[in-house]
Amino acid sequence: MARPIGSSDSEERSMRYISTQGAPESTDFEGALLSGYASDGGLFMPETIPILDFATLRTWSTFSYPELVKQLCGIFISPELIPKTELSDLIDQAFSRFKHKDVVHMSRLKNGLNILELWHGPTYAFKDLSLSCTGQFLQYFLKKRKKRVTVLVGTSGDTGSAAIESVRGKKNVDICVLLPQGLCTQVQELQMTTVMDENVHVFLTEGNSDEIDEVLKEVFADEDFSRRHNLMTLSSINWSRILVQMAHYFYAYFQCTSTTDALPWPVVEIVVPTGAGGNLTAGCIAQKMGLPIELVTAVNDNDIIHRAIQQGDFSVSGAVMSTLASAMDIQAPYNMERIFWLFSGSDSSLVKSLMEEFYTTKKVKLPSELQKKLSECLRSCRVSDEEILQTMRCCWDDNHYLLCPHTAVAVCYHYKYPSCHPRKSRCCLASASPVKFEDSVSKARIPLEIMPEISMLKNKKTRSCTLKRGEDWAGILRCQIEAITKQHNPVIN
C-alpha cells in the first residue's frame, strides 16, 4: 500500500484508484473524479500511498499553500492525464477568487492557540478549497472529452453552496443539491436558494442530512441509470476533495514548526472539526505519507466517530441531533469507510462486511484490533452546544477573535486539554467564517459586523423545490435527472 516518493517516473505515472470494498477493477484519477461510488458501492482510494522522504518534506516546508496543493496533486494525478503545467494553471485559476492573498491564513493567538483559517473562499467555508480545484479538474476533462455530467450533492450546510459555486453557469454540468430544510443557517440556505443559474437545481427536504445521503446512495446504486445520465458527486465521497484537503495538514505543520533542518522533526497536533470525515481522512493520509502530525477529531453531540475511536461503537444513536455546529450534524459519516480501510491494512473484505452491517442495522461493533489502531493514531472529543458557546465567548474575551461554532468545537479541545509538551505545537482547523452563523454569535453575546455581501442575500429572490416527508424523494430526483438529460439530449428517452 505504501511506496517511497523516490519511485521512478514511470511508477508515478501509474497511480490507480481502487474501491475500499474490493471491486477487482481499478481506475485512474479521471475515472475516480467522474464517478460517485465505485461499482461495488465502495469509495475510491489510491492503490498506493507514497511515503515522503526527509529531503522532499524539507523542500516542501518553504512552499505556499497553492504550491503544496500542486505538489500533492502532481503525485496523485498522472501527468499523462493533466500535464504539470496545465495542472498548475488549473489550481491557480481555482484560487483566483479567494479573498486572502495567501489563500489560507494562520492566526496565532494567546497560550499557543494556532488557528488555520480555511474559509477565505467564495462561500466562506473550507469546502471552497477542494471544490474550487475539483471544479477546475472537472471542466478540464469534460471539455477534453466533449462530455457533460449531472452532479448530485447532499449537504448538511456548507458543501452545497461551495459545490454550486464551482459549477454554476457551466454549460456541460447540471447540479442537484439536496439540503435539510430549517437545519442549516439562514445564510447557508440562502447561499444555495438565491442562485438563479439554469444549471442549478436546489431541493429543500423535510429530513436530515443522513436521510438525504441514503437517497443519493440509492440513486447511485442503480448503475445503469447512473451511467445513462452521467451522474457524479461533488461531496467528499469524491476522491478529488480528499486529495486537495491533504494540503491543509502539510501547510499547518510547516507553519507550526520553526525549523526542519534536523531529525527528528517535532510533532504537531492538529485538531479537526469533523462531520462526514472527509477532512479527517485527508489528515490520516498525510500522516501515512510521513508527516509527523497527531490528529484529534472533534465532534458535536452527533458523536459516532468519537464512540468508534474510544469504544469501537460505530452505531447510530437515535435521530440526528440539531446543534449549533449544523454542518457536522451527521450520524452516518461515510468517510469512516476510508479510515477503516486505511487502518485495517487495506482489508477490503473487512470494510465491506462492516459497511454492509452498518447500513443494514445502523450499528457495528468494530473488531478490537481495528479499534486499537484507530485509538493509537487518533484522539477524539465530544463538544456540547453549551461548550461551543463558552468557547466562542472565551476566545473572544482572550483574543478578540471570533470563531464559527464548528471551529469552536476544535478550539474547545484546546481549552480542555492545554498542551504541556514543550516541543509539540497545536493547530486547530477553522472550517467556516462566523459571518454565516449570526444566531450562534448572538447567543454567545459577541458583536458581529455583517458584511454587505451577506446582508444582500436576504433581499434576493429564491428558487427551490420542496421534498416533503413521505414522498418518494429518490423517484422525484430521478425524474429531475431524466428531464435534465432529455433537455440536453432529446433523443434519449
- Dump pLDDT digits (tens) for 179-193: 999 888 899 999 999
Domain membership of residue 1 (yes or no) is: no
- Per-residue pLDDT, 135: 97
Domain membership of residue 354 (yes or no) is: yes
Domain membership of residue 436 (yes or no) is: yes
Under 8 Å between Cβ of 270 and 429: yes
Domain membership of residue 221 (yes or no) is: no
- Per-residue pLDDT, 99: 95
125 strand-pairing partners: 432
Grid cell of 108 as nine digits: 496565532
Question: What is the tens place of the pLDDT at every residue in 295-322?
Answer: 999 999 999 999 999 999 999 988 889 9
4 strand-pairing partners: 51
pTM of the model: 0.93
Domain membership of residue 297 (yes or no) is: yes
154 strand-pairing partners: 178
Write the secondary structure of 197-248 as one string of H (helix), E (strand) and C (coil).
Answer: CCCEEEEEECCCHHHHHHHHHHHHHCHHHHHHCCEEECCCCCHHHHHHHHHH
Domain membership of residue 361 (yes or no) is: yes
Identify the CATH number of the domain in which residue 344 sits. Answer: 3.40.50.1100
426 strand-pairing partners: 269
- Per-residue pLDDT, 489: 76
Buried b (16+ CB within 10 A) or exposed e, 275-292: bbbbbbbbbbbbbbbbbe
CA 430 and chain centroid, separation: 13
Question: What's the whole-number mean pLDDT along residues 213-225?
Answer: 91
- Per-residue pLDDT, 42: 95
What mean pLDDT is reported for the chain?
93
Under 8 Å between Cβ of 275 and 156: yes
Annotation says 127 is catalytic:
yes
Under 8 Å between Cβ of 118 and 246: no
Domain membership of residue 113 (yes or no) is: yes
pLDDT band at 8 (very low <50, low <70, confident <90, very high): very low
Catalytic residue among 70, 99, 127, 288: 127
Residue from 161, 338, 328, 320 nearest 234 by CA: 161
Query: What is the number of alpha carbons within 13 Å of residue 271 lying toward its C-beta?
Result: 29
DSSP 451: P
- Per-residue pLDDT, 490: 60
Domain membership of residue 348 (yes or no) is: yes
Q: Count CB atoms within 10 A of the CB of residue 437.
A: 30
- Report the C-alpha gap between 457 and 216 in whole angstroms: 28
Domain span including residue 371: 105-123+240-450
* Total domains, the chain: 1
- Report the C-alpha gap between 158 and 236 in whole angstroms: 12
